[in-house]
Structure 1
């Protein structure tokens, strides 16, 4: 019989896989570029397709979660992800690689949102921020696997075999959700059959939604764009870092993200969710500015950790709709905010590639000015979004 512990553990394990896949390209990007002849724009576009596909399914996903529940919707999507992992593993061209990456985005799209929908029924309002933060924090340890361990696996068995094994794990996790969870506790009746698109119109007409959505577009978008792709080329081009050194710095960054996620729920109950988001966003902006200045590598390692922690704290923006909108709208409200979070990752990854490509490469390496321009632009966008979010202090949890 499913209980709170089993629901939490199963969804957290599935989210671990999701986070691994969204972060993996940062380590293997140089190998992909060399083996398949990809330039910076192609790398950025291909990697961003995970997030573009992820974002594209968010609105129908929200309606599906509100009507049918995560026990059915989430594992169904995950099967598409398993197919994408196999396709990625066998790709011999940019087009096939991109299609596999997009299918992975579709497959992973329902895991976090399905978990948050399930948690909104299984846990009390006071427990919800804490369990949501723990879910995201523990699940994000998948990014740790996508750092030094992935670099070792890449050197040992190659990235193709890694993605074949990942496909099998996705299928096992999907089966665990079907067999080991329920949409609600046994004594709660599932209310979702009445959900419809009218709720979405109410959500989109509320300015509070846009304050959350635009800030998470930049904070989550930049965090995932840098962690999931551009940190690797940044280290290679500016510091001549090899795969092992890239993996080490990315490990610190990923540890920082995990710490931020784990602390986010606990801190939100202590200082307030909105105050936490504002504090995290401000520090996050500062770290982007420091990274843009090309400090010594040891400073980059420290600042990357702080970049991860502060960016991770802002993930509570995904839990905030639970306190702004009625329970019957939580699926659509949360996925609508997440649309901007993941859409931000897709667009920022691609945009950074376009900006970097504006600067001529020398012997395959882009100059510091390319990354400085991209990071300064990212910091400016985050600052403007944070200023727009500040009035939430008067109205939100």
Structure 2
């Protein structure tokens, strides 16, 4: 029924799928327990934003090393080894008693999950036809999106029943088993394909490949919109939506979890639905620009929410999620600009912009919100959130203008770039 190639792909799905689910889960967890962390450790808005920012900073600084490791040693060994770092970080976080310990633990988590998405994209680039990369990536992102769903209502329920420390400790132990599953089931390339790095290529030559990627001026426009699209939504979803619902609407843990679940489900739908649109309309740039414009509009509408209607805020946040699943066409656009041998480094470069953007946006919004005085209960005023959403909306609009200058790479053309251009 299935070819040998198909059986190998199916065998890899559980390990890679669970790894991606875990990475998305851990990136999204802070939003649910942020009010609890703030109350338990008496954190300011700036200190609170610094916690998940440590995770994304860890991911950002690992992008370049991981990209080289992929091209030289393969995703299988790289991802499995780094998942063990994730286990160390999660277990450390579950026992942490200070902001320093929490931040250091999340730094380890960031290191550990850094190669998961990149590794999946690299593997897809080797196992599926190039013109179907965006669709395959979208399906993969959709699977990973289950982690975002699990970090909402299910995690809130587990936290309510067992506490966040015990819940995360169990997840840390699960991570160790997951590393073993990846090493046993994942294969770096199809048996009939040549190695991605030519025999005899030295480490210096491999690193020089990064220079080829970074010499492409268009990469920076792509990196800007990637960083703002992913960074703004993840900052909202993984950090501020919990405090926003708590401070402005008085939502408790379970209500926050349920609302975040719906927002996450909307994002998951968009991640799966938007991916194939580049082939439907034969444009990657158009899909990315349209989705980013939608995010700009709905962040702007969220900035008009004055705290009087939770229903209005929920509708706006859900539609925002429906516009935000743009990772697949962004990565496919970047991937189409370079020869196959640079795939690991191309994904690395865009991911560097993505996680660097998340880190900067989280730290920046934390400092911005912290400038607004908290009330007697330590809660942030609605004006702080409204101005934050307005700034994100404006930044997204600017990124569209800059990105539109990048030439399109429609799937129908699907031609490799001239090496070294």
1:126 pairs with 2:122: no
Q: Kindly indicate whether the alpha-carbon contact (under 8 Å) linking 2:134 and 2:328 is maintained by their aligned counterparts in 1.
A: no
TM-score between the two structures when normalised by the length of structure 2:
0.91
Moved more, 313-322 or 294-303: 313-322
Structure 1 residue aligned with 2:418: none
Q: Does residue 1:234 correspond to 2:244, yes or no?
A: yes
- Number of the residue aligned with 1:212: 222
Query: How big is the shift at 1:290?
Result: 1.0
Write out aligned runs for 1:301-340 (5 A). Answer: 301-340=314-353
**Match for residue 115 of structure 2 among 107, 110, 117:** 110
Matches within 5 A, 1:283-362: 283-294=294-305, 296-362=309-375
Question: Counting helix residues as a fraction of each chain, which structure ranks higher?
Answer: 1
User: Contact between 2:284 and 2:408, CA under 8 Å: does it hold in 1?
Assistant: no
CA distance in structure 2 between the partners assigned to 1:89 and 1:187 by the alignment: 44
Q: Deviations over 1:95-134 (max 9, x none)?
A: 1111111100100001110111111111111332111110
Give the Å deviation of 1:394.
4.4
**Kept after mapping to 1: 8 A contact 2:60/2:352:** yes
**How far apart are the structure 1 equivalents of 2:225 and 2:407?**
14
Output the CA distance in 2 between the equivalents of 1:128 and 1:98: 35
Residue in 2 aligned with 1:274? 285
CA deviation vs aligned residue, 1:60-83 (integer Å, no higher than 9, x gap): 111111111101111111111100
Equivalent in the alignment of 1:383: 397
Question: Are residue 246 (structure 1) and residue 251 (structure 2) matched?
Answer: no
Residue 211 of structure 1 deviates from its aligned partner by 1.4
| Cα displacement string for residues 177-227 of structure 1 (whole angstroms, at most 9, x for unaligned residues) | 111011101122213253612221121111221111000111100111010
- Once residues 166 and 344 of structure 1 are traced to their aligned partners in structure 2, the CA distance between those partners, rounded to angstroms, is 27
1 CA distance for matches of 2:284 and 2:14?
A: 24
Structure 2 residue aligned with 1:156? 161
Partner Cα separation in structure 1 for residue 386 and residue 39 of structure 2:
24
Bigger Cα Rg: 2
Match of 2:49 among 20, 30, 44: 44
Aligned residue in 2 for 1:92: 97
Distance 1:96 1:145 in 2: 25
Contact in 2 for aligned 1:12/1:136 (Cα 8 Å): no
The 5 Å alignment of 1:353-372 reads 353-363=366-376, 364-372=378-386
- Residues 6-85 of structure 1: matches in 2 within 5 Å? 6-85=11-90
C-alpha displacement at 1:157, in angstroms? 0.3
3-state SS of paired residue (1:268): helix
SS in 1 for 2:356: helix
Query: If the length of structure 1 is used for normalisation, what is the TM-score?
Result: 0.97
Counterpart secondary structure, 1:294: coil
8 Å Cα contact 1:8-1:135 kept in structure 2: no
Measured in 2, the distance between the counterparts of 1:174 and 1:146 equals 20
Deviation, structure 1 residue 14: 0.8
User: What is the distance in 1 between the residues matched to 2:292 and 2:328?
Assistant: 10
Question: 2-side partners of 1:209 and 1:174: how far apart?
Answer: 33
1:230/1:349 contact within 8 Å kept: no
Contact 2:285 2:409 in 1 (8 A): no
Alignment length, in residue pairs? 397
* Superposition deviation, residue 396 in structure 1: 5.5
